[in-house]
Amino acid sequence: MPNEILVGIDRDGTLIKDENYYLGSQENWQELIDFMPGVIGGMRRLKFARGAHSYILSNQAGVALEGIDGAKNFSRLTEAMVRQVNDEIMWKLCINGAEPEGIFFCPYVDKQYVRKAEEKGRSVNPLYVRENDRSMKPNIGLLERAAMHSARELGDFSKIYVIGDRLSDVQMAHNAEGIGILVPDYKTRELGDVSNVEQLMRDKPEKTFICERFDLAIQLILEQVS
């Protein structure tokens, strides 16, 4: 399978807008699904690209949270609700001829996340606290699940890409010996991830890229593998 590639795509802030929604914690969560610029066209191109296998891969830390915070009711945001949200996103992509092959998520958080949540007055369900869980970005478990879904192993792909709005997306790509593409959102800049990825561009220039729009990231991938 020398000419097949695996493309992992982050969900919130990359495919759909993320205004700290914790999508699924609200009663009107369906109304909040809004695709980022260039997503539909880019996903459609990727779907029909020969040898490309694409998957949505997402950390969903909100599942671990408990209680009510403004319009967010974290008791609603169960793993089952995340799957329902994912099904809705997949359906919206499908009717536009732009759906990937699958979608996988990680609901677990680490102790650092717990500390930050507690600083905001939020509580965390201890059942979802796992230090360094393999499926938690930047670890490569989600990529491994995507490869398995394609009846392959990561080493079977000629190239592995990850597109996302966070440093952890780029790091996950590097941890899988792949190529990370940052598509910055407001949160990317807010958290300082742009400057961190710029440093990675200097350290690993052939493995790290920044694109201002999702469709430009897809264009970059298709140009590299054509």
Chain segment 13-71, per-residue pLDDT in tens:
999 999 889 999 999 999 999 999 999 999 999 999 999 999 999 999 999 999 999 88
Residue 187, pLDDT score: 86
Rounded distance between C-alpha atoms, residue 43 and residue 224, angstroms:
17
Average pLDDT over residues 122-139: 97
Rounded distance between C-alpha atoms, residue 154 and residue 146, angstroms:
9
CA atoms within 13 A on the CB side of 61: 19
* CA 55 to each of CA 8, 159, 201: distance values in angstroms, whole numbers, following the listed order: 5, 14, 24
> Above pLDDT 90, what percent of the chain?
94
Sequence-distant (≥ 6) Cβ neighbours of residue 72 within 8 angstroms: 22, 25, 26, 62
Please give the structure tokens belonging to residue 4: 């097949």
Backbone angles phi, psi at 32, to 5 degrees: -90, -5
Tokens 């990370």 belong to: 180
Average pLDDT over residues 112-135: 96
> What integer best gives the mean pLDDT of the chain?
96
Q: Is the dihedral of CA 168, 90, 99, 183 positive or negative?
A: negative
Residue 153, pLDDT score: 96
Average pLDDT over residues 112-137: 96
Mode of pairing for the β-strands spanning 68-69 and 65-66? unpaired
Rounded distance between C-alpha atoms, residue 54 and residue 161, angstroms:
9
Each residue of 162-196: pLDDT tens digit?
999 999 999 999 999 999 999 999 889 888 999 99
Residue 210, pLDDT score: 98
> Is 90 exceeded by the pLDDT of residue 141?
yes
Tokens 């690993």 belong to: 204
Rounded distance between C-alpha atoms, residue 66 and residue 124, angstroms:
6
Please give the structure tokens belonging to residue 211: 């694109």
Each residue of 78-95: pLDDT tens digit?
999 999 999 999 999 999
Cβ(33)–Cβ(27) under 8 Å? no
Cβ neighbours, 10 Å, residue 31: 8
Residue 1, pLDDT score: 46
